[in-house]
Amino acid sequence: MQSKTFLNFDPTRVHSPCFVIDEQAMEANLKRLDEVQQRSGAKVLIALKAFSMFALAPLICRYLSGACASGVHEARLAREEFCQLPHNEVHTFCAAYNIEDFNEVLMYSDFVVFNSLSQWQRFQAPIAKAASHGLKAKFGLRVNPLYSESTTILYDPCAPCSRLGIPYTQLQKADLSGVCGLHFHILSEQGFEPLSHTLDIIEKQLGEQLHQMEWLNLGGGHHINDKDYDVDGLVERIKAIQERYQLQVYLEPGEAIAVNAGVLVAQVLDITHNTMPLAVLDISATCHMPDTLGMHHRAQIFGADDATKKAHTYRLGGQTCLAGDVMGDYSFDQALDIGQRLIFDNMAHYTMVKTTTFNGINLPSIAIWNSESDDLKNVREFSYFDFKQRLS
């Protein structure tokens, strides 16, 4: 599904390359998520691992209940930028904490989730010390339900030998004193049915433990802003769980917050030929849109189609020395020109957070556009110093 609002956006208005976020599209996503909150009683958190553009934090904080972090730096960012209203919370989960980071995590977090029973037991002393100093974080454990309907092993936390989560069989007879919540994450841009199937297993295997809990976090990957998502089914299931176990349900969708709300503007730098026409752009798949490589995800380009469907077909690649730095083959009605701008669609979630400066390639600028008023604001530009400061 295309970000239709960007059909009217002039890419020459921004410096290339540039991520451009439509705040109107973002707000529409947030309103739908808030509708889930209001109808179900659940609390929805922004997953900073997917989208952490804090320039939009004031807007996000108006609709959501807080942020979830994957480590100490995200926890600090969540506390500093995404807790602008009294009801905003910070939830932190990490596959493993070290003691220095953990002490900081306790300072920033309202909820801290452990990935193993051994870590939960190991950190009892710093937890007690923090409590003596007035810190009041609540603690939970991540569960591996040993079930998944994911088709991508790279993003499947329940794949065989996964390090993520405690197999539910290990929790059934564990001492859960001091634990007030459970967390699981099994989805990746999926609908309601896989979640419902997983909840069936969680309730069957850990129903007794759920009656002891204050909250249950259903993780992320909920494709709530997809037009075919069964929102009614989600709302009713959440209401039933909260009623049955007398607990608070949390959701932490990543892509649903920024899906179809951002693009990446690029420029054609060179056109060559080797068996087929080749175009080199001022962006890089490996540096700026790595899911096109790791997930074999094909990004859509406005005005382009699959190879051979239109008159002029090009293989688009980046500036780096990596031979596989290729976005794919695309066809256009007209031949490309050097200096021409291209708009890659749906480039907000899991893109901006993954950018690198491999080969010294500069990071794309960041801009906010309002598709209703046509206002455009340049938020951030990067330079050599951003590259240098990451090195020794």
> pLDDT of the chain along its 392 residues, tens only?
567 789 999 999 999 999 999 999 999 999 999 999 999 999 999 999 999 999 999 999 999 999 999 999 999 999 999 999 999 999 999 999 999 999 999 999 999 999 999 999 999 999 999 999 988 899 999 999 999 888 778 888 989 999 999 999 999 999 999 999 999 998 888 899 999 999 999 999 999 999 999 999 999 988 898 889 999 999 999 999 999 999 999 999 988 999 999 999 999 999 999 999 999 999 999 999 998 887 667 899 999 987 778 899 999 999 999 999 999 999 999 999 999 999 999 999 999 999 999 999 999 999 999 999 999 999 999 999 999 999 98
Of 178, 169, 229, 239, the residue nearest 204 (C-alpha): 169
Kindly report the CATH number that applies to the domain delimited by 41-258: 3.20.20.10
pLDDT of residue 296: 67
| C-alpha distance from residue 100 to each of 106, 107, 115, 129 (Å) | 10, 11, 17, 14
Q: 291 near 328, Cβ under 8 Å?
A: no
CA–centroid distance for 344 within its chain = 18
DSSP element (H, E) containing 304 = strand 304-306
Which residues of the chain form CATH 3.20.20.10? 41-258
Cα–Cα distance for residue pair 221/98, rounded to 1 Å? 27
Residue 44 confidence (pLDDT)? 98
The residues of the chain that CATH labels 2.40.37.10 are 4-20+262-347+355-388
Query: What pLDDT shows up at residue 291?
Result: 86
Measured between alpha carbons, how far is residue 44 from residues 33, 121, 196, 221, 248 in Å?
7, 29, 18, 12, 11
pTM summary value? 0.95
Residue 180 corresponds to which tokens in the numbers above?
């007030």
Q: What is the CA radius of gyration of the chain?
A: 22
96-127 burial, b at 16+ Cβ within 10 Å, e below that, comes to ebeeebbbbbbebbbbbbbbbbebbeebeebb
Rounded Cα distance between 115 and 338, Å, is 50
Q: Which CATH number fits domain 4-20+262-347+355-388: 3.40.630.30, 2.40.37.10, 3.40.50.1950, 3.40.50.300?
A: 2.40.37.10
pLDDT confidence of residue 188:
84
